[in-house]
Amino acid sequence: MNEAEKKDYLERYKKKKQNGEYFWPDTIAKDAVVSLGIFVLLICLAVFVGVPNEPPANPSDASYIPRPEWYFLWAFQLLKYFPGKLEGIAILGLGAAIVVGLFGLPFFDRNPKRHPLNRLVATTVMTLIVVGLVFLTIQAVVSTPPQVEAIDLGADLASRVEAGGTLYQEHCAECHGADGEGAEITSSPGDFTDPLNSEDFLITRSRDTIFQVTNYGQPGLGMQALGLAYGGQLTDQEIRVIVDFIEAWYVSPEEEAAGPDLALIETPSYAQHVQPILDKRCASCHSRRLKGNYSVVDYNAVMTSGDNAPVIIAGDAANSILVQMLHGIKTDAGGQMPPARALRADQIQLIERWIDQGAQNN
């Protein structure tokens, strides 16, 4: 600044001061009004627009791509250009450079002019910085794959079970059967998976257990991990709806009690009435697994298998071991069947009637 400039500057300063505004209260009042306006705007945005929550944090979800807020994306992108150890140096170095630069600004930029066009160096540097920030932000946005779309799998149980059923057919049915009844394991022919739809499976496995088993599989037994975190294809959310679907196979005692009264059926049919009960309540222990060497896979097996065969005497329900076991009477063949929870009274009555009428394959 030469003498003339200095004089000119001081004069303008004096003039401005005479008819100018005061910081307090004038400027403060203006600032206060603007701040209040922005504050009200933010509150309105929060109340009327809001921000959707992301799903709760989940340390085992490897599909989640963590991103900083948009206004930090440039820094995030910048760090990508400093791989490995350089990253730490870049963070400290850049931070230090910015702080030192700001501290030094009054010393190395002593240009008294205020119009941007009269401050070429400062204007150019600032323009470069802004362009750089915008460029890095855009780079960060386009170079990051989109978050795995959190597909809407439905909020209510019915639609979750439906979505889970579709996923189950796609990813599980091949090895566990379309209805969870079990299927041959392709990698070891002759071996079958245990039914997932049986009551004793569903009662003894918590939702969490089924979730975990699906997530990281049972590698030793021939089921690879299916969760994304362990190299599979299913997100946590998808596994959760599959579990909803599997759990829906379980019929609680209350629900079952509400079923149609089977005792009213005059001539029970094996295929229509008896086999479904056996499938649901006995197959988990009496199909692939042959407890007591007894199998309920089909009519022939039901009539002829078992260590104490025949367990059904056609026309004589009272003396059939199977019926006695259904009633919980201790026999040479064992105790109550199924061991955990007896059949409903009318189901037992139906099986008795079917046996008394000749135990036919009708």
Asked if 353 interacts with ligand HEC (CB under 6 A), we say: no
Q: In the range 302-331, which residues lie near ligand HEC by CB under 6 A?
A: 306-309, 311, 321-322, 325
The type of residue at 350 is L
Q: How far is the CB of 258 from ligand HEC (least distance, A)?
A: 20
Among 275, 284, 287, 295, binds ligand HEC (CB under 6 A): 284
Q: How far is the CB of 59 from ligand HEC (least distance, A)?
A: 21
Closer Cβ to ligand HEC, 140 or 282, answer by number: 282
Asked if 339 interacts with ligand HEC (CB under 6 A), we say: yes
Closer Cβ to ligand HEC, 154 or 334, answer by number: 334
Chain centroid to CA 117 = 56
CA quadruple 154, 155, 158, 162: dihedral, nearest 10 = 20
Q: How far is the CB of 309 from ligand HEC (least distance, A)?
A: 5
Q: How many CB atoms lie within 10 A of CB 240?
A: 19
Q: How far is the CB of 41 from ligand HEC (least distance, A)?
A: 47
Stretch that binds ligand HEC, among 50-58, 112-120, 124-132, 279-287 (CB under 6 A): 279-287
Q: How far is the CB of 342 from ligand HEC (least distance, A)?
A: 8
Residue pair 78/90 in contact by the 8 Å Cβ criterion: yes
Among 181, 194, 244, 279, binds ligand HEC (CB under 6 A): 194
Q: Using alpha carbons, select from 155, 205, 177, 354 the residue that is nearest to residue 283.
A: 177
Q: How far is the CB of 180 from ligand HEC (least distance, A)?
A: 9
Asked if 223 interacts with ligand HEC (CB under 6 A), we say: yes
Segments in the chain forming alpha helices (H): 3-19, 28-44, 73-80, 86-108, 120-143, 157-171, 173-176, 199-204, 207-216, 236-247, 253-257, 275-281, 283-286, 299-304, 321-326, 345-356
Closer Cβ to ligand HEC, 137 or 287, answer by number: 287
Residue pair 357/273 in contact by the 8 Å Cβ criterion: no
Among 242, 262, 350, 355, binds ligand HEC (CB under 6 A): 242
- Residues in binding contact with ligand HEC, number by CB under 6 A: 45
Residue pair 223/175 in contact by the 8 Å Cβ criterion: yes
Q: How many CB atoms lie within 10 A of CB 184?
A: 15
Residue pair 304/310 in contact by the 8 Å Cβ criterion: yes
Residue pair 270/353 in contact by the 8 Å Cβ criterion: no
Closer Cβ to ligand HEC, 93 or 335, answer by number: 335
Q: How far is the CB of 199 from ligand HEC (least distance, A)?
A: 7
Whole-number Å distance between alpha carbons of 108 and 103:
10
Contacts with ligand HEC by CB under 6 A lie at 171-172, 174-176, 185, 193-194, 196, 200-201, 205, 210, 213-214, 218, 221-223, 226, 242, 278, 281-282, 284-286, 291-292, 294, 306-309, 311, 321-322, 325, 333-335, 337-339, 343
